[in-house]
Amino acid sequence: MGHINYAFIDESGDLGRYGSKYFSIAALITEEPETLARIIKKLRQRKLKKKLKQLPEIKANNTNYIIRKYVLKKVSLSNCKIFAVVVDKSKIFDHLYNVKDKLYNYLCGQLLSRVELSCNKFIVIVDKKHTNTLIRKDFNKYIKSKLNQISKELEVEIYHLPSYSKNELQVADFVVWSINRKFNWKDDTYYKLFETKIVNRNNLLLWK
């Protein structure tokens, strides 16, 4: 057991009964989060036009090919590991659409159960989805129980933060957007730029 590991988690798609065919969640795991944060910082300094630099958040779905390629190539050269799960929503039981929060918790638990850790402290940062404190507490309790099944000695901290406040979460957005685009739109243009960083790339689909 060694250093602190950080996980930055974001999702793409939706958990509605209709809408996108696939839903994806990805976790970027690193011991040096500042290397991911620096990607967005340098993007703002070097690639963005003046009016875009003022935006509080850079997201994959409202940028262009040049920006996406820049971010994802930097990810491919970074020291992070990527783990992801992709869900074909047609495989989800109908009644689970009525408990989306529980379903999301379950899917995040499945994602983190795949993560390979070499640390005694694991800090999880999730894109803040809810203002409801009880929903966040339920998420934290569930995820901590899943991680403690892997290692009872593992110290776990979980933070729900708005993605505009964390550059690392904005990087995670580019990654999971690209993964979901590969499955929903059959476009792997962006996915190919960082594919080798995905540890479980041969086993992305949760239910086949």
pLDDT tens-place string over residues 31-59: 999 999 999 999 988 877 776 777 889 99
**Rounded to 5°, angle at Cα 179 from 118 and 150:** 25
* pLDDT over 60 (residue 1): no
- Whole-prediction pTM: 0.95
Q: Which of 8-12, 16-20, 112-116 has the least mean pLDDT?
A: 16-20
Average pLDDT over residues 60-74: 95
Distances in whole angstroms, Cα of residue 54 to Cα of each of 40, 41, 46, 150, 170: 13, 12, 14, 42, 15
Q: In the CATH hierarchy, which fold is given to the domain comprising 2-203?
A: Nucleotidyltransferase; domain 5 (3.30.420)
pLDDT (tens digit per residue) in 185-198: 999 999 999 999 99
* pLDDT over 80 (residue 144): yes
Are 33 and 8 within 8 A, CB to CB?
yes
